[in-house]
Amino acid sequence: MVTGLQLGSIQAYGTLSGYIYLHLPQYLCKQFGISPSTSFSVTYKDGKIVIEQIKEDKENAA
């Protein structure tokens, strides 16, 4: 199950596994040096929502 959430011009898709995928506008990708299909984890800590980039291993280690 995927939930779509509109955050301004950033389209976010959250899954039940706790991962969120952000479809970022091209200018944001260039500004922050990330790819449009970058995965993020979203956690709720100390009253704040924390979005962290998930580092993907080249070898897809489990």
The 10s digit of each residue's pLDDT in 22-51 is 566 677 677 777 666 666 677 777 777 777
The amino acid sitting at 33 is G
Highest mean pLDDT among 3-7, 12-16, 51-55: 51-55
CA distance 24 to 48: 21
Q: What percent of the chain has pLDDT over 70?
A: 27
Q: Domain spans of the chain?
A: 2-53
H helix runs in 1-62, sequence order: 26-32
pLDDT at 10 over 60: no
Give buried/exposed letters for 37-57 (b at 16+ CB in 10 A, else e).
ebebeeeeeeeeeeeeeeeee
How confident is the model over 54-58, as a mean pLDDT? 60
pLDDT at site 55? 67
